[in-house]
Amino acid sequence: MLTIVAFLVALGLLIAVHEYGHYRVAVACGVKVLRFSVGFGKPLLRWQPQGSPTEFVLGAFPLGGYVRMLDEREAPVAPEERHLAFNTQRLRSRALIVAAGPVANLALAMLLYAAVNWMGVQEPMAYLARPVPGSVAETAGLRGGELVHNAAMGDEALNPVRSFEDLRWLLTRGALEGTSVQLEVEPSPGALRRTVVLAFEALDTREADARLMHHIGIVGPWTRPLMGEVMPGGAADRAGLREGDEVLRIGTTEVVDGQQLRSLIRASVRDGQAVSQPWRIARGGQTLTIDVQPEVQQDQGEAVGRIGAYVGARPQFTTVQYGPLEGLWSGVTRTWQVSVLTLKMMGRMVIGEASLKNLSGPLTIADYAGRSASLGLTHYLTFLALISVSLGVLNLLPLPVLDGGHLMYYLWEGVTGKGVSDVWMERLQRGGIAVLFLMMSIALFNDISRLFG
């Protein structure tokens, strides 16, 4: 139920803001707006304020909306109202009205990001877990336990890293853009800082998913390798492990953090059989050695080890909060960065350098809406900001059925002094619909593959 409510609230808000952008600028330009609708199909709710020419409608089908304006191309217009019709407006006014929808979504994203910055959020500190073996991070010399103080892409000046989420975003941008990232790290408390360069130029970034962070090698923040709650009768319980035990070594491998400990447990299977290994643990000031044999379980068709206990302590958290101007500027910057990265990824998908699996549809959006809402208000607002950016950027693409397509027509009109002919308009509309339908089909297929595959 939470997923459905969160999804509908997200859709309703983002569509309403988009259409309100068109509506507000149209009214400011002197255009008569006949209907403002959030949703399509049969009206569930309709009202018209006294003295207003606009009917406001809530439609039954929520995936979209529209603003219907007086227009001679759609219906006859009385001579005395011709100056109120959209098609009779100056080119600049028409372009502003069309661009206002996507711009409203981008402005909303800025405000949402800023709101999260002002509210403050608890995030893990930028302590690094043990890198994935063979990854970019391990090759660069990271070993786990380092605290990242500052970072930068390419040759840019180093900037403070406030949290692990800050670091994750910077690493994602660097990897997807093929740009190296500098990290200024403190190897251990009080140690001299050193600079590490993660070289992403040769990294395979066709898919922006969990595997990308695996290739980078930094999949989560550092946590102490402690045993949490031990399930009665499980492998950990049978071996004599207790809650609070700190794991120092498994076999001959030194254990640095909880993420590495979980990976070692998963990998403790040979030819479908669990492998018993000596665990070196610290308990109550003493060091003990205990033989542990995990149980074999299936995880998506793969045999992995499980011990029947929670593994790894909570990461160290910090409160990330910005002042009024700093928070607003950070919101503007994040919106710009997400917009640029979205356009770059779309461009790479067109030329075949990125996988079409990166496209997401309504099922994935609904899933993430529910997950973010369950984590709290700030996570949900961040999700809304990301989707608002995506909606704004998507609508600015030069596809005839989208706002960007209409802007493309107006650009042609501005350059040539005449509008696109009806014949070409119809051809381009058909082509745009075909491309949009193809994108939606791919996105829906990806949704089904992710959620039910």
- In whole angstroms, give the CA distance from residue 193 to residue 191: 6
Supply the DSSP symbol for 420: P
Supply the DSSP symbol for 193: P
* Torsions phi, psi for 209 (to 5 deg): -135, -165
Active-site pick, 19, 123, 146, 184 = 19
Evaluated on CA atoms 296, 298, 303, 308, the torsion sign reads negative
With tokens 């922006």, the residue in question is: 208
Contacts of 301 (CB under 8 A, 6+ apart): none
Active site residue 19: yes
**What one-character-per-residue DSSP string does 120-182 give?**
-EEEE-SBBPPPPTTSHHHHTT--S--EEEEEEETTSPPEE--SHHHHHHHHHHHHHHT--EE
* Torsions phi, psi for 370 (to 5 deg): -65, -40
3-state secondary structure 396-407: CCCCCCCHHHHH
- For the annotated catalytic residues, the residue numbers are 19
